[in-house]
Amino acid sequence: MDAEHSVDDSQALLEQVNRALANATPLLIQGSNSKAFLGRAVAGEVLDTRSHRGIVSYDPTELVITVRAGTPLAELSATLAAAGQMLPCEPPSFGPGATVGGMVATGLSGPRRPWSGSVRDFVLGTRVITGLGKHLRFGGEVMKNVAGYDLSRLLTGSYGCLGLITEVSLKVLPKPRHCFSVSLEMDRARALENLARWGQQPLPVSAACHDGQRLHLRLEGGEGSVAAAHERLGGEALDPGFWNDLNEQQLAFFDVGPPLWRLSVPNNSGALDLPGAQLVDWAGAQLWLKSDADAGVIRAIAQKAGGHATCYSHGLIDSPFQPLPAALLRYHRQLKAQLDPQGVFNPGRMYAEF
């Protein structure tokens, strides 16, 4: 990244946090705000991370990059691509200005998730401004020893409720040597059966989505293995842009209509009888549902399958994330109290209780 685009603004961010602590002012942490529709609304003073940006260190031979939280995700991806590398978890942007901090805070992963891992799996370390007004590097700092957690990964998917991430070190991987996508006509039940069987075989599948009528597959790896898999599976060639459209929710399925739900379930759940239109992702482990059904009905089906449901339509219900069992809620509140004792960071973003 160009030096003029690399700015360490951590001191200003720390000062803003300390002012908020002194005045008991809640803070609304945001980058480009591309994922503001996720979670509950937060009332607070805006803390914008985008002034704190840039690649801190990157040695492609080490497969590790350290980057400031306000760095646009597109710039990070371009830097990696120039070296023939990538973030294997394929985090969605939902907007051109999405930041690295937002990627980590939401922990959202793309179509490759079941085969490569989640955002959390690629976070190696972080620098964080805590609710005690300290700027710490986690991994060997006192806070980790006191809390007893791997805080870098714990912060992933915490929606800014535990602290302000200022810097993150990420594991990266080389881009696949060859990629080819195919589409096969089959119903949902047969597609899920095939995916379960193929999952036990050495096929180079890196994405699998069923749109209600057709099963779409992405094959990645060596040219020979991809060609052999294509010959075995058959199917028509699919525009590779499909996967980006799926990841960024730009397919026709995601057009305005009934409320949008995301169900995360075990990938062996089979075809679920859900009240609405479905789009199957992650080989069956992630289901997108467009439905006017009551939240309780949708969540009961997800829970019965061993999963949970999140509402992606902002403001529809008070608890867009699946309500926590009492014991788990207690642990979350205790963790929030330890890391953010005054409750200034994104209060209520995930749950009203913290």
Is 216 domain-assigned?
yes
**Same domain membership, residue 222 and residue 147:** no
Is 209 domain-assigned?
yes
Is 326 domain-assigned?
no
pLDDT score recorded for residue 150: 79
Is 81 domain-assigned?
yes
pLDDT of residue 317 exceeding 50, the answer is: yes
pLDDT of residue 72 exceeding 60, the answer is: yes
**What's the whole-number mean pLDDT along residues 130-135?**
96
pLDDT of residue 233 exceeding 90, the answer is: yes
**What's the whole-number mean pLDDT along residues 151-155?**
90
Give me the percent of the chain exceeding a pLDDT of 90. 93
pLDDT score recorded for residue 5: 79
pLDDT of residue 33 exceeding 50, the answer is: yes
Domain that holds residue 108: 3-174+332-339
pLDDT score recorded for residue 146: 42
Number of domains in the chain: 2
Mean per-residue pLDDT over the chain, rounded: 94
pLDDT of residue 148 exceeding 60, the answer is: no
**Same domain membership, residue 182 and residue 170:** no
Is 182 domain-assigned?
yes
> Are the beta carbons of 229 and 267 closer than 8 angstroms?
no
Is 323 domain-assigned?
no
Q: Are strands 277-281 and 286-290 parallel, antiparallel or unpaired?
A: antiparallel
Q: At 47, which CATH number?
A: 3.30.465.10
Give me the percent of the chain exceeding a pLDDT of 70. 96
| Per-residue confidence band for 147, with pLDDT thresholds at 50, 70 and 90 | very low
Buried b (16+ CB within 10 A) or exposed e, 20-37: bbeeeebbbbbbbbbbbe
| Per-residue confidence band for 256, with pLDDT thresholds at 50, 70 and 90 | confident
Is 183 domain-assigned?
yes
pLDDT of residue 141 exceeding 70, the answer is: no
Is 135 domain-assigned?
yes
Block residue for tokens 């205790």: 334
**What's the whole-number mean pLDDT along residues 41-62?**
96
At 227, is the secondary structure helix, strand, or coil? helix
**Same domain membership, residue 143 and residue 7:** yes
**Same domain membership, residue 122 and residue 16:** yes
| Per-residue confidence band for 151, with pLDDT thresholds at 50, 70 and 90 | confident
Token readout for 258 is 């009934």
pLDDT of residue 4 exceeding 60, the answer is: no
**Same domain membership, residue 212 and residue 92:** no
pLDDT score recorded for residue 149: 58
pTM of the model: 0.93
pLDDT of residue 2 exceeding 80, the answer is: no
pLDDT tens digits, residue range 79-120? 999 999 999 999 999 999 999 999 999 999 999 999 999 999
**Same domain membership, residue 230 and residue 95:** no
> Are the beta carbons of 226 and 203 closer than 8 angstroms?
no
**Same domain membership, residue 80 and residue 194:** no
**Same domain membership, residue 35 and residue 8:** yes
**Same domain membership, residue 245 and residue 205:** yes
Return the closest-CA partner of residue 243 out of 173, 157, 180.
180
Return the closest-CA partner of residue 122 out of 133, 109, 136.
109
pLDDT score recorded for residue 140: 32
**Same domain membership, residue 183 and residue 117:** no
> Are the beta carbons of 286 and 109 closer than 8 angstroms?
no
pLDDT tens digits, residue range 321-348? 999 999 999 999 999 999 999 999 999 9
**Same domain membership, residue 195 and residue 155:** no
How far apart CA 42 and CA 112 sit, in angstroms, is 31
**Same domain membership, residue 22 and residue 159:** yes
